[in-house]
């Protein structure tokens, strides 16, 4: 064990090593490869954005990062330790450091419990303090996330979606975690209040030194708040790099296509005179395409893409991509552009 921990000493606050998560399909006859080989690390204090279309495995990954799901293969290390190797008492203690907030503001709130009871419930489960001290701590945290003490004795149905999401943040904050996985945390909220909630996350990060993993399908959300961005497609990472670099100088044809569909202003060299339409649905994770799994929808596809899985390689410093033809200049030209140029 000691040797294993020593090997992982440089693993960062969260490290994912050759991660695979497989599920039996609904009819039990096939295997769904929800996560099919991922490697990355999250640094202490950063906001690590994960972006991808629906079905790319983001929620599965988020749940696994906080030990709600066990890897089928590979490891997830928390501060160099594999939580799967801990005994149940040590695991319970350890787990408070790695928390998750979900898209649905109602997911973690019991409709029959008052707000304050929901907020202090995790502390009660851990046996921390007495009822009075837990209530004091809960109210202080509610106030810190922008809710008044009067909200404490209300019920979830008396609050708006944005207020309920603040309660969920408070519930997690009382545990003083190191890492919070935020799974589409603003997607269900009214557009007009998303900015306020994202600003709250940013303030709390500065105040408490939190590390965030922000999962979303919305590139405008991750591009604003992330230090680094990982792009997922069908259970694999396509690209990972500094947020500004990924958004302004993407390397993968998939990232370029996602960006071309966005209303966010792109730098001139990236501005495409047409939106790159990704044709067809994301293929089934039961039988992903051979070679590069994006090839069936890739506008730059070449014959080699069907035969060889692209290596996960550094193309610029700290900026990795899984595409045979990406260079430091960017993704390969798309076939339509290449045809009209010749
Ligand atoms: N418990 C399960 N049993 C079988 N298949 C599952 C299970 N959980 C997830 N899947 C499948 O794994 C794949 C990845 O799902 P996941 O929810 O992680 O993707 P996602 O990127 O978060 O998508 P969304 O944004 O729609 O939630 C999907 O094809 C999904 O149907």
User: Could you state, in order of their start, the residue ranges of all structural domains in the chain?
Assistant: 2-86+210-341
What is the CA(33)–ligand 1 centre distance, in A?
9
Whether residue 58 has its Cβ less than 6 Å from ligand 1: yes
What is the CA(288)–ligand 1 centre distance, in A?
14
pLDDT of residue 5: 41
| Helix intervals (H) in 160-240 | 161-173, 191-208, 219-225
> Which of the residues in the chain have pLDDT under 70?
1-11, 262-277, 337-342
Structure token pair of residue 83: 């939580």
The 3-state DSSP class for residue 98 equals: strand
What is the CA(218)–ligand 1 centre distance, in A?
17
CATH fold of 2-86+210-341, please? Rossmann fold (3.40.50)
Whether residue 95 has its Cβ less than 6 Å from ligand 1: no
Whether residue 331 has its Cβ less than 6 Å from ligand 1: no
What is the CA(56)–ligand 1 centre distance, in A?
7
- What ipTM goes with this model? 0.96
**Best mutation site among 23, 72, 214 for ligand 1 pocket (most ligand atoms within 8 Å of CB):** 23
Nearest residue (by CA) to ligand 1, atom 30, is 55
**Best mutation site among 21, 32, 185 for ligand 1 pocket (most ligand atoms within 8 Å of CB):** 32
| Phi, then psi, of 36 in degrees rounded to 5 | -125, 50
Closest Cα partner for 282 from 293, 267, 269?
A: 293
Q: Residue written as tokens 């898209």? A: 103
Contact 91, 83 (CB under 8 A): yes
pLDDT of residue 166: 96
| Residue 67, CA atoms < 13 Å, CB-side half-sphere | 20
**E-state strands within 12-59:** 14-24, 31-42, 47-51
Structure token pair of residue 5: 């921990």
- Cα separation, 209 vs 85, in Å, equals 27
User: What is the pTM (predicted TM-score) of this model?
Assistant: 0.91
Q: What is the pLDDT of residues 266-279, one digit of tens each?
A: 555 444 545 666 77
pLDDT of residue 38: 96
Whether residue 60 has its Cβ less than 6 Å from ligand 1: yes
Which atom number of ligand 1 is nearest to the Cα of residue 183?
A: 22
Which atom number of ligand 1 is nearest to the Cα of residue 26?
A: 4
- Cα separation, 41 vs 340, in Å, equals 41
Distances (CA, A) of 84 to 68, 203, 272, 274: 11, 32, 46, 48
- Cα separation, 36 vs 234, in Å, equals 8
Whether residue 28 has its Cβ less than 6 Å from ligand 1: no
Contact 184, 156 (CB under 8 A): no
């Amino acid at each position: 064990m000691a040797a294993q921990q020593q090997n992982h000493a440089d693993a960062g606050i969260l490290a994912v090593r050759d991660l695979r998560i497989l599920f039996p399909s609904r009819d039990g006859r096939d295997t769904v490869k929800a996560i099919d080989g991922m490697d990355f690390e999250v640094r202490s204090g950063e906001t690590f954005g994960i972006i991808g279309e629906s079905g790319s495995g983001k929620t599965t990954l988020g749940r696994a990062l906080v030990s709600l799901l066990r890897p089928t293969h590979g490891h997830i290390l928390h501060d160099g330790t594999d939580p799967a190797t801990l005994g149940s008492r040590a695991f319970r203690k350890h787990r408070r450091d790695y928390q998750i907030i979900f898209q649905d503001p109602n997911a973690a709130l019991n409709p029959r419990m008052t707000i304050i009871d929901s907020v202090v419930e995790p502390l009660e489960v851990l046996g921390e303090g007495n009822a009075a001290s837990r209530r004091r701590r809960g109210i202080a945290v509610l106030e810190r996330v922008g809710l008044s003490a009067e909200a404490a004795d209300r019920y979830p149905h008396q609050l708006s979606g944005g207020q309920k999401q603040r309660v969920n943040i408070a519930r997690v904050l009382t545990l003083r975690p190191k890492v919070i996985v935020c799974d589409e945390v603003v997607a269900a909220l009214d557009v007009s209040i998303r900015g306020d909630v994202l600003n709250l996350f940013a303030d709390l990060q500065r105040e408490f030194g939190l590390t965030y993993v922000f999962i979303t399908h919305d590139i405008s959300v991750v591009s604003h708040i992330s230090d680094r961005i990982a792009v997922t497609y069908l259970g694999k990472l396509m690209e990972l790099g500094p947020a500004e670099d990924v958004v302004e100088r993407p390397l993968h044809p998939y990232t370029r296509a996602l960006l071309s569909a966005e209303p966010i202003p792109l730098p001139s060299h990236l501005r495409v005179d047409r939106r790159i339409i990704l044709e067809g649905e994301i293929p089934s994770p039961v039988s992903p395409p051979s070679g590069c799994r994006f090839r069936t929808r890739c506008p730059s596809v070449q014959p080699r893409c069907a035969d060889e899985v692209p290596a996960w390689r550094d193309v610029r410093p700290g900026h990795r991509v899984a595409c045979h033809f990406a260079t430091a200049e960017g993704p390969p030209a798309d076939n339509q552009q290449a045809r009209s140029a010749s």
